[in-house]
Amino acid sequence: EVQLVESGGGLAQPGRSLRLSCTASGFTFGDYATNWVRQAPGKGPEWVGFIRNKVFGGTTEYAASVKGRFTISRDDSKSIAYLQMNSLKTEDTAVYFCTRGSRLDVDAFDIWGQGTMVTVSS
């Protein structure tokens, strides 16, 4: 079964760090881009950033709201993507989803994980 499973969410104080993991199975993880999308309670989805596959250099792009604070990386040998979140703010509180960029349209996310909740609060 093709799936993505996020882990690492929880409660963090403002200014602290948290690292999320996204473990893929059922497909060749290294062939695809991985995006992170978050959704604050009662709000719509917000794109966080993505990492291209190695064929396209494994480079990253980020939303302005997280640029300089969040870092996406990948370990294709383990089929895992990471979202390192530093200098957390209360407005980062959300469910974080990792998603797969479709081969047919890289901006279309055809597989989503179940999400992991991140709460930033003192």
Partner 1 sequence: QSVLTQPPSASGTPGERVTISCSGSSSNIGSNTVNWYQQLPGTAPKLLIYSNNQRPSGVPDRFSGSKSGTSASLAISGLQSEDEADYYCAAWDDSLNGLEFGGGTKVTVL
Interface positions with partner 1 (CB under 8 A)? 35, 37, 44-47, 50, 61-64, 97, 102, 104-105, 107-110, 112-115
Beta carbons of 20 and 115 less than 8 angstroms apart? no
To the nearest whole angstrom, how small is the minimum distance from the Cβ of residue 44 to partner 1?
4
Residue with tokens 């993880």: 29
Looking at the Cβ atoms of 63 and 71, the one nearer to partner 1 is: 63
Q: Which is nearer to partner 1, 105 or 122 (CB)?
A: 105
Q: Dmax of the chain from CA atoms?
A: 43
**Whose CA is closest to 50, among 40, 63, 39?**
63
The distance of closest approach from Cβ of residue 16 to partner 1 in the complex, given in angstroms and rounded to an integer, is: 25
